Structure 1
Amino acid sequence: MKRLVTLLLLLPAAAWSQKGFRISASVPGLKDSTEVKLLNTHQNNTVIASAYSQGGSFELQGQLTEPALSVLSLGSTGSLYLYIENTEMKLSAGPALVVKEKTKAPAAKGNGKATAPAVKVKTEAPKPDLASIRLEGSPSHNDFLQFQAIFAPLLGNVQSMGNRIQSTQDPALRSQMIASYDSVRKQLNSEVARFVSAKRSSYVSPFLMYITAPVLDDYVLLNERFNALDSNIRNSNIGRALGQTIAGNLIGAIGSEALDFTQNDTTGKPVTLASLKGKWVLLDFWASWCKPCRIENPNVVKAYQKFAAKNFTVLGVSLDQKKEAWVKAISDDRLTWTHVSDLQSWSNAAAQMYHVQSIPQNFLIDPNGRIVGKNLRGAELEAKLCELLGCN
């Protein structure tokens, strides 16, 4: 949970709202003069309210731009998460717990020396029952409690399974674990869909979508869910941050539309990706100096020769700087499809547009211009083309 919440520390801050919040609290067993702090996780754990306890009670007042996940710090007693709103709220806890503490009494002394061993004395001290704390007056917190009950176990399971998969070397066992992992991810996806559909006007919905996005890794679907939220939620701080994340990750995502670009071929003639619409296109980023690319080229040649008659082609985008090396590699590797480049190496405009950070990298685009596969290499590329185009 802590790891996931840190994602929210990057959310932008905004101007303070006019209406504030007040939390009247009663926590039996809380020591007098305990410094209580409320930290806004949306603003780098900024302290937004503080007070000192007296007789187990305290009051916190402050302002928020919108409902926000906050940390209530009760000094050395502990802390807990609360979803705070600009409302009147009441925080309460059950009866204090009685905790037995062991201390040592000073040893008796005689002539400056200890004459008897220290005696252990048991004392009983009240301690707040943090598990019993309840917050009333915040609808967002009620949604957050539901979020915790449903998703904390699922996300914990996903994380532990992922760690086990990474440390497992046996291929057969690893395959079984991946299948189980995918099953849990499917369950997680279903629960996210159910929660968001039922709570389109809740600030917890974009929070949930934000922290599960890296696990589910389907930004096209995430975008559909985001657009179904109420407009005030989409335009909130967390909503705008989520929208920006989605927009960045939609580029090159499976299911998204391929972005058009224009670069010159080896003869200097401009070629657009859009000119190939109506065909199955493998958009292939590579370079003559890239050894893994040159090793992969025979697989691309094989796929091209096998499926060219089925409306399939390749558009190679080179990250070369020297035209001579680029053209020579095309000839040496017998890459007989269309090739383009702006000869700007890693600054290639198309590569930057598609967020290419390593090569070889490719995107399989259908005749309608939609991305249906990515990073397909070797037998995986041929299998995907067989699935889509048939191998007969």
Structure 2
Amino acid sequence: MKPALFVFAILLPFFSLAQKLNIDATISGLADDTKVVLNDLENPVEPVAQAVSKNGSFHLAGKLEGPSLLGLMIGKDLKTAIFLGNENVKILGSVNDDPDNWKYTGSRTQIDFMNFQNDFVPKFQALNLLAQRIQMGDEKAKPALDSSIDMLQNDIDDFIKTRPSSPVSTLVVLSTIGLTEDIALLEKRVNLLTTEATGNVFGGHLKKRLLMRNLMSWGVWHSIFRRQM
């Protein structure tokens, strides 16, 4: 066997392993024979992977079309959302802790997703509270809501600029698309994203939403133009 072919033959199992999602988890306090299910939250018909725990550990193996938002269910009580691709991931935690706070290594995407949750979820919750106050007739909440949205727009831009290749940045743009009517701003954000960031189901959703926004905008201006004729 030629040296190059010999090296390739040695590395082939590692390449094959990297093309699949492999999760090795150690969860202290986890009872034996606990059922573990991993679902694609965008297509939960068939589980991505299933396992049964033993000695506080479990292994999940599956194949994803691309980076995906997944639901990890351990028994009946432990549930969390994780954002992974075909990677080798390790999870370390305890049944007494919130799964969102477990330690995840081996996935840059999951780290970005955890940063997104920590940074944005509290701000989304604050916006919802202000919107509820406005609905109840509290006019003083309107300036606070506008100010909070403006600050959030800056946070969105900062997140994307520092993570232009992350699929989570695509999720950030998609999940906040309703906060602005500025199509130019949305397109600017999308143009910052690399194909690595948009080559997933959320990238497809984002393209459709932008297309609808552009069509609606054109329809409004076309209607105004016709009325002025």
TM-score normalized with structure 2 length: 0.84
AA matched with 1:92 = L
Contact 1:192–1:209, Cα closer than 8 Å, also in 2: yes
1:295-323 Cα shifts (integer Å, max 9, x gaps): xxxxxxxxxxxxxxxxxxx742xxxxxxx
What do residues 295-352 of structure 1 show as CA deviations (whole Å, max 9, x unaligned)?
xxxxxxxxxxxxxxxxxxx742xxxxxxxxxxxxxxxxxxxx64xxxxxxxxxxxxxx
The answer on 1:193 being equivalent to 2:157 is yes
> Which one of 111, 132, 157 corresponds to residue 163 of structure 1?
132
2:68 counterpart of 1:65: no
**1:234·1:243 contact (CA, 8 Å) conserved in 2?**
no
Contact 1:36-1:74 at 8 Å conserved across structures: yes
Q: Of the candidates 147, 151, 176, which is equivalent to residue 183 of structure 1?
A: 147
Bigger RCO of structures 1 and 2 (CA < 8 A, at least 6 apart) = 2
| Aligned counterpart for 1:218 among listed residues 179, 182, 199 | 182
Q: 1:147 aligns with which of 116, 119, 122?
A: 116
Match of 2:98 in 1: 130
Q: CA RMSD in A?
A: 2.2
1:177 partner amino acid: A
Output the CA distance in 2 between the equivalents of 1:227 and 1:257.
24
Structure 1 residue runs of 4 or more that deviate by more than 4 Å after TM superposition:
256-260
- Contact 1:77-1:128 within 8 A present in 2 as well: no
Kindly indicate whether the alpha-carbon contact (under 8 Å) linking 1:199 and 1:205 is maintained by their aligned counterparts in 2: yes
In the TM superposition, what are the counterparts of 1:60-99 in structure 2 within 5 Å? 60-94=60-94
Instruction: Give the partner amino acid of 1:181.
Output: L
Q: In 2 relative to 1, CA 87–235 (structure 1 residues): closer, same or farther, beyond 3 Å? A: closer
Partner Cα distance (2:77, 2:226) in 1: 62
Give the aligned length: 211
Q: Given residue 78 of structure 1, which amino acid in structure 2 is its aligned partner?
A: L
Matched, 1:237 2:206: no
2:113·2:168 contact (CA, 8 Å) conserved in 1? yes
Q: What code does the residue aligned with 2:20 have?
A: G
* Structure 1 residues 198 and 53: alpha-carbon distance in aligned structure 2, compared to 1, 3 A threshold: same
Task: Provide structure 2 residue ranges, at least 5 long, that are not aligned to the other structure.
Answer: 1-17
* In structure 2, C-alpha distance between the alignment counterparts of 1:158 and 1:150, rounded to whole Å: 13
Higher alpha-carbon Rg: 1
Mapping of residues 29-48 of structure 1, within 5 Å: 29-44=29-44, 46-48=46-48
Aligned-partner residue type, residue 229 of structure 1: L
Alignment match, 2:23: 23
TM-score by length of 1: 0.50
CA deviation after TM superposition for structure 1 residue 23, in Å: 0.5
Cross-structure match for 1:228:
192
% identical equivalent positions: 25
Higher strand share: 1
The residue identity in structure 1 corresponding to 2:97 is D
Deviation at 1:160, TM superposition (A): 1.5
Gaps of at least 5 residues in structure 1 are 1-17, 95-126, 261-282, 285-313, 317-336, 339-392
> Could you tell me whether the CA contact under 8 Å between 2:20 and 2:87 is conserved in 1?
yes
